Structure 1
Amino acid sequence: MARRALILVEGTRANGPLYVKAARRLGLHPITLSADATRFDYHAPERVEAIRVDTDNLDALIHECARLRATYDIAGITSPWEPSYATAGKLCRHFDLPGPNPASIEQCCDKFTQRQLLAAAGVPIPAYRVAAHAREVESAATEIGLPVILKPAVGRGSSGVRLCRSIDEVAEHTTHLLGGKHIWQCSPNILVEEFAQGPFYCADIMGNDVVGIGASDFGPPPHFVFRESIFPASLTDDEHERIADVSLSCLRALGLGWGPTCIEFRWTKRGPIVIEVNPRLAGGTTPRRIQLAYGVDLITEHIKLIIGEEWDLRRRHSQIAAARCLVPDRDGILDRIGGEARAAAVPGVAEVKFYVEPNTPIIRQGDYRDSIGHVIAASPSRAETQAILERAVNSISWSIKPFR
């Protein structure tokens, strides 16, 4: 009998290794298809079978999967990486495997199209305009009213996203986005949005079930770099219900509802405002925090759905899980980083991870790439979890020396 395999199209630093481990626990052989088979550092330690293929070329992927079917029983195909998630959906359709609707994924990944569909369905969103050149951006910012958010219409991880409080800042960031410094995934269109002010929440969904809602804080503006996230968020029953109701409205408006979705909100004077709908599993520390808080392993349950098995989203327990991202405050060469063992030894700490090693150049981008590590803690109470996290983070230190 052929060995059952799970095909992963590309991967991520955070969720990629978790998909590999979960696949193996389910008795599957994980195989990664990647344009650069050495790109993800979990390949070597996890000894994942990694095959080099142009993942932007659907025909090449179909050919490779067909070749693998001669050796393996391909149980499912997916991607932990948003840019490849629609492609994985197309492969599922081609090979008659369970998967998301690729058209729904693609239209959702275009933030302008997403905004149009949500607005048409009456979902509460910030005022917005789309612009292709500097004059249109400035005009849109003036119409909406400062401050505004400027972001690429297609992108992820807060790359290229900035809060602009003046027309000068609008012009400066527009020049950055259109002047060759930002790498565009498609035609350069800038989304200009009203700055929805208020606490940040994220609803994590599987199918049409709202698994839970977390809260996060960011570092100092004008960028949106996650600093601390906690799950579940401290919400009243009414607030939770309102966010859950709007979340389900988003799924209907965007043709989603198969597999994972994470929806970002700001709670404003008008209530919950949708900032962004992500048609895939949340990245970063989110899956781990949900597992610690509720005992629900979203990655394992997602794989079950992918391979046609029944998932189980029942909560096993209730804890408060929080994560702190380690974010440097300057550029330079990382001279030293340590304290991992001391932090991990703090009772209640679930994970300590450094992404970098000494002598690594640190060049802050104002997005998810700025984080050099994280600490995750969990306990039965919110105050206790915060205290554990603080103690662990204080055990870690690093130094950055200036570039010469």
Structure 2
Amino acid sequence: MARRAIILIEGHRSIGSLYLNAAERLGLCPITLSADPTQYDYLAVEGIEAVRVDTSKLHALIRECCRLRETYEIAGITGFSGLDESVPATISKLCRHFDLPGPNPASIERCRDKFTQHQILARAGVPMPAYHLAANATDVKRSAAEIGLPVIVKPAVGSGSRGVRLCHNADELTEHTHYLLGEDYIWLSSPRILVEKFAQGPHYSVELMGNEIFGIAAVDFGNNSHFVGLEYTFPAALTADEHRRITDVSLSCLQALDIGWGPTNIDLRWTDNGPVVIEVNPRLAGGTSPQLVQAACGVDLIKEHIKLVIGCEWDLRKRHSQIAAARILIPDCDGTLDWIDGDDEAAAVPSVTEVKLHVVPKTPIVRKGDFRDSVGYIIAASPDLAQTRSILERAVDLIDWSITPFV
């Protein structure tokens, strides 16, 4: 009898290995298809089968899956964005081709383009920041003048905060526009820039499975112009009214975009006028979000997502109730990492649930102002928010490193 396999298209730095482990716990053989498998270190560490294939081409993936079906029973297909933001839509079409569970390809396409997404949500009456689409520096400048500074300037298609910046004044606007339209930022299609009004207020990340809101996390980006999360807290401390209004607007997003299969992550801010939606992503949030949920309530969202992908019933019942928080470790300069230590000591602090370092000595550190700046994270959980934060501070203080700046 052929062994059941789950196909993972591309990988993910923070949660890719969690998908491998969860798949194996469910008795599945995980197989990764990637344009460049060597970029995912955990594949070699785990000894997982990986196949090099152009993941932006649907016909190439169909051909490879047909080849794999000669050896395996393919139980399901899912994956991650990888280097090409069209990959999630390609995955949904692949599922449709092989008659496997998956989201609606048209809905994924609508979400992938943030300008199209903004238009659909605005027409449905979902509260959104003012926005304009720009194709060149003149358009960006004109859009910012009409909307009013400060504004967020970002690619219309992208993830992980790549190319996203808060511009407070004309100089910052010009600088970031030159960066996006210059040689350093890589576009996989014609440049399309979204300029939107900065919605001021606390940032929240809403996690949904199907049409059910599973939880809401608070996100702290600090006071910098790049949107690199520094601390995450799950569940967020909200009043009953705040929770209800965030729930209502989140469900309105699902209805407007015609999504509701599998996981969805919605980013929004609580402003003076209530919740304002920043963007909707039809996937699990990356980073530390799944680990936070598991530390806070004992639910393995990744395992439950895989169960859905292979056509099984999921189980989101909470096993316990705690307040979990994650601190993201961000270097304060570029250079060569001389050494980093303290992770074992931090992990030994009571109520610390996980300590993870992404780097090793002699690694070049080049900050990009997005998710790739993280060199690690620490997660702690306890019954009380103040206690959790105190535990987290104790553990963070034990981590230390040295970076020699580049000459």
Q: Same fold by TM (over 0.5)? A: yes
Match of 1:296 in 2: 299
1:25 aligns with 2:25: yes
Residue identity in the other structure for 2:259: L
Residue in 1 aligned with 2:230?
Answer: 227
Q: CA deviation at 1:335?
A: 1.2
* C-alpha displacement of 1:106: 1.5
**Would you say 1:307 and 2:330 are equivalent positions?**
no
| 1:184 equivalenced with 2:206 (yes/no) | no
3-state SS, counterpart of residue 108 of structure 1: helix
Q: Which residue of 1 aligns with 2:378?
A: 375
Tell me the amino acid that sits aligned with residue 133 of structure 2.
V
Asked whether 1:55 is paired with 2:58, we answer: no
Letter in 1 for 2:38: T
Report the TM-score when normalising by structure 1: 0.99
Instruction: Name 1:106's counterpart in structure 2.
Output: 109
CA drift of 1:292 comes to: 1.1
Q: Pick from 168, 171, 175 the counterpart of residue 172 of structure 1.
A: 175
Between the aligned partners of 1:185 and 1:150, the Cα distance in structure 2 is 18
What is the distance in 2 between the residues matched to 1:380 and 1:80? 33
- In the TM superposition, residue 317 of structure 1 has moved relative to its aligned partner by 0.9
Partner of residue 43, structure 1 = 43
Q: How does 1:200-215 map to 2 (within 5 A)?
A: 200-215=203-218
CA contact (8 A) 1:80 1:281 kept: no
Deviates more, 1:39-48 or 1:1-10: 39-48
Structure 1 residue aligned with 2:361, among 358, 361, 364?
Answer: 358
Residue in 1 that maps onto 2:70? 70
SS of residue paired to 1:240: helix
Shift of 1:212: 0.2
Match of 1:147 among 144, 147, 150: 150
Partner of 1:160: 163
Work out whether residues 242 and 272 of structure 1, in 8 Å CA contact, stay in contact via their aligned partners in 2. Answer: yes
Structure 1 position 235, deviation (Å): 0.2
Post-superposition offset of 1:217: 0.4
* 1:85 shift after superposition: 1.9
2:299 is matched by which residue type in structure 1? Answer: V
Counterpart amino acid of residue 33 in structure 1:
L
Give the aligned partner of residue 254 of structure 1: 257
- Partner residue in 1 for 2:129: 126
What is the alpha-carbon distance in structure 1 between the residues aligned to residue 189 and residue 237 of structure 2?
38
Cα distance, 1:80 vs structure 2: 3.2
Q: Is 282-291 or 80-89 further displaced after alignment?
A: 80-89
State the shift of 1:252 in Å: 0.8
Deviations 1:100-155 (A, max 9, x none): 11121121011100000000100001000000011111000000001111001011
Give the superposition deviation at 1:165.
1.1
Q: Deviations over 1:21-54 (max 9, x none)?
A: 0101111000000111222111112111111111
Mapped contact 1:203–1:214 kept (Cα < 8 A): yes
For the Cα contact (< 8 Å) 1:154–1:186, is it kept in 2?
no
Provide structure 1 residue ranges, at least 5 long, that are not aligned to the other structure. none
Structure 1 position 207, deviation (Å): 0.3
Is 294-303 or 191-200 further displaced after alignment?
A: 294-303
Counterpart position of 2:99: 96
1:269-312 CA-partner distances (Å, limit 9, x unpaired): 11000011111110000001001111111111111111111111
| Offset at residue 81 of structure 1 (A) | 3.1
Q: 2:403 aligns with which of 397, 400, 404?
A: 400
Once the two structures are TM-superposed, the CA of residue 169 in structure 1 deviates from its matched residue by 1.5
Listed one character per residue, the Cα deviations across residues 294-346 of structure 1 (whole Å, up to 9, x for unaligned) are 11111111111111111111111101111000001111111111001100100
The answer as to 2:16 corresponding to 1:13 is: no
- Is the aligned partner of 1:244 residue 2:223? no
Match of 2:272 among 266, 269, 272: 269
Query: Given that residues 333 and 359 in structure 1 are in contact (C-alpha distance below 8 angstroms), is that contact kept between their aligned partners in structure 2?
Result: yes
Q: What secondary structure is seen at the aligned counterpart in 1 of 2:38?
A: coil
Say if 1:15 and 1:80, in contact at 8 Å, map to a contact too.
Answer: no
SS at match of 1:265: strand
**Structure 1 residue 220: Cα displacement:** 3.0
Superposed CA deviations along residues 332-366 of structure 1, whole A, max 9, x for unmatched, are 11111100110010011111111111111111111
Q: What is the one-letter code of the residue matched to 1:60?
A: A
Which of 137, 140, 148 does residue 137 from structure 1 map onto? 140
Aligned residues: 404
CA–CA separation in structure 2 for the residues paired with 1:52 and 1:110? 27
CA distance in 2, matches of 1:394, 1:138: 43
Structure 2 residue 400 is the aligned partner of structure 1 residue 389: no
Equivalent in the alignment of 2:282? 279
Contact 1:154 1:185 in 2 (8 A): no
**Which secondary structure does the structure 1 equivalent of 2:248 belong to?**
helix
For 1:226, what is the secondary structure of its paired residue?
Answer: coil
Distance 2:387 2:188 in 1: 43
Give the partner amino acid of 2:390. A
Q: Distance in 2 between matches of 1:244 and 1:197?
A: 20
Look up the SS of the partner of 2:361 in the other structure.
coil
Query: SS state of the match for residue 42, structure 1?
Result: helix
Q: Secondary structure at the match of 1:263?
A: strand
Q: Which residue type is aligned with residue 9 of structure 1? A: I
